[in-house]
Structure 1
Amino acid sequence: MERNNNIPIRNIYYMLSYTYQTLNLSEYKQIGTESYENVKELYSEILSVGIPVLIRGGLSKDYISVEETSNVIKGKIDINSTIKKNALVTKKVAVIYDEFSENILLNQIIKATLVYLSRSNKISKKIRRLLYGMLPYFTEVSDVEIDLKLWKNVRYNRQNIRYQFIVDVCRYLYEQLLFDESSTSQMAKEAQDEQRLSSLYEKFIYAFFKRETKYGVSHPQIQWSVDDEFTDALPIMQTDLVLRKDKKTLIVDAKFYSENMVTRFEGGAAKQKSSNLYQIFTYINNWKKEPDETVAGMLLYAKTTALNQPNHIYHIKGKQIFVVSLDLSLDFRGIKESLLAYANQFFT
Structure 2
Amino acid sequence: MIEKKYKVPIRNLFCILCYVHEMPEVVSAFNSKDEDLPQLHLLAKLFIEETDRIMMRGLMKDYHERAEETNQLSGKILFEQSLNHIIQKKPSLVCEKDQFDEDILINQILKATLNTLLKIEELPKNQKIKISMQLKKLHHVSAINLFRKIFYMIRLNRNKVYYQKMLLLARFIYELNNLSDEDGAFDLIAILNDEMKMQIIFEKFILNFYRLEQQQFLSKIERMKWRMFGGNLAIIPEMKTDISLIDRVNKEKIIIDAKYYADIFSKSFNADKIRSTHLYQLFTYLNHSSDIYLTRGILIYPTNGVKVDEIYNISIQVGIEIQQSTIRIFTLDLNQKWQDIYNQMFVLLK
TM class by smaller structure: 0.5 to 0.7
Deviation string 1:265-320 (CA, Å, 9 cap, x unpaired) is 9xx533113343344345446x5x553344443212233332x5242326376575
Q: Secondary structure at the match of 2:148?
A: coil
Partner of 1:163: 163
Three-state SS of the structure 1 residue aligned to 2:253 is: strand
Does the 8 Å contact 2:222/2:241 carry over to 1?
A: yes
**Selected match of 2:47 from 30, 38, 51:** 51
The answer as to whether partners of 1:47 and 1:166 remain within 8 angstroms in 2 is no
Q: Secondary structure at the match of 1:210?
A: helix
Alpha carbons of structure 1 residues 143 and 49: separation in structure 2 relative to 1, 3 Å = same
Give the letter for the 2:204 counterpart: K
Partner Cα separation in structure 1 for residue 108 and residue 78 of structure 2? 29
Larger Rg: 2
State whether structure 2 residue 196 is matched by structure 1 residue 206.
no
Residue 210 of structure 1 and its aligned partner are, at CA, apart by 1.6
The answer on whether the counterparts of 2:298 and 2:329 sit within 8 Å (CA) in structure 1 is yes
1:186-235, Cα deviation, whole Å (9 max, x unpaired):
9x997633557665543332233223132122124557777413349x5x
Letter in 1 for 2:205: F
In structure 1, what is the Cα distance between the partners aligned to 2:123 and 2:300?
Answer: 37
Say if 1:105 and 1:339 are closer, same or farther in 2 by CA, change over 3 A. Answer: same
1:255 alignment counterpart = 259
Query: 1:205 is aligned with what amino acid?
Result: I
| Counterpart residue number, 1:219 | 221
TM-score, structure 1 length as denominator?
0.65
Please give the alpha-carbon distance, in whole angstroms, between the structure 1 residues aligned to 2:60 and 2:179: 29
Kindly tell me: are residues 219 and 105 of structure 1, through their superposed partners in 2, closer, same or farther at Cα, counting changes over 3 Å?
A: farther
In 2, Cα distance between equivalents of 1:331 and 1:304: 16
Rounded Cα–Cα distance in structure 2 between residues aligned with 1:250 and 1:281: 12
Change over 3 Å in CA distance of 1:314–1:172 after alignment to 2:
farther
Greater mean deviation of Cα atoms: 107-116 or 85-94: 85-94
Residue 245 of structure 2 aligns with which residue? 243
- For residues 48 and 149 of structure 1, do their structure 2 counterparts lie closer, same or farther at Cα, with a shift above 3 Å needed? closer
Please state whether the residue corresponding to 1:311 is helix, strand or coil.
strand
Point out where structure 2 has 5 or more consecutive residues left out of the alignment. 318-324
Q: Secondary structure at the match of 2:31?
A: helix
Q: 1, 4, 9: which is aligned to 2:7?
A: 4
Aligned length: 318
Question: CA separation in 1, counterparts of 2:260 and 2:21?
Answer: 19
The answer on whether the counterparts of 1:224 and 1:231 sit within 8 Å (CA) in structure 2 is no
Question: Aligned residue for 1:292?
Answer: 292
Counterpart for residue 349 of structure 2: 343
**Aligned runs of 1:1-348 on 2, under 5 Å?**
1=4, 3-5=6-8, 9=11, 15=16, 22=23, 24=25, 31-36=30-35, 38-39=36-37, 42=38, 44-57=40-53, 58=55, 60-68=59-67, 70-71=70-71, 77-78=74-75, 81=77, 90=91, 94=95, 96-101=97-102, 103-111=103-111, 126=122, 136=135, 139=139, 140-143=141-144, 146-148=147-149, 150-151=151-152, 153-157=154-158, 160-171=160-171, 182=183, 192-195=191-194, 201-211=202-212, 212-221=214-223, 227-231=231-235, 239-246=241-248, 247-263=251-267, 268-284=270-286, 287=288, 289-306=289-306, 308-313=307-312, 315=314, 320-328=326-334, 334-344=340-350
**1:100: Cα distance to partner?**
2.5
> Structure 1 residues 16 and 67 mapped into 2: Cα distance closer, same or farther (>3 Å)?
closer
TM-score using structure 2 length: 0.65
Distance 1:194 1:62, change over 3 A: same
Amino acid at match of 2:346: L
What's the offset of the Cα at 1:61? 1.9
Amino acid in the other structure paired with 2:47: I
Amino acid at match of 2:327: I
Q: CA RMSD in A?
A: 4.9
2:165 aligned counterpart, secondary structure: helix
- Relative distance call for 1:202 and 1:46 in structure 2 (3 A) is farther
Mapped partners of 2:41, 2:7: distance in 1? 20
Paired position in structure 1 for 2:321: none
What secondary structure sits across from 1:56 in the alignment?
Answer: helix
Rounded to whole Å, the distance in 1 between the matches of 2:310 and 2:296 is: 16
**Inter-CA distance 160–337: structure 2 relative to 1 (3 Å threshold):** same
CA contact (8 A) 1:217 1:243 kept: yes
Contact preservation (8 Å) 1:260, 1:309:
no
Runs (5+) with no aligned partner, structure 1: none
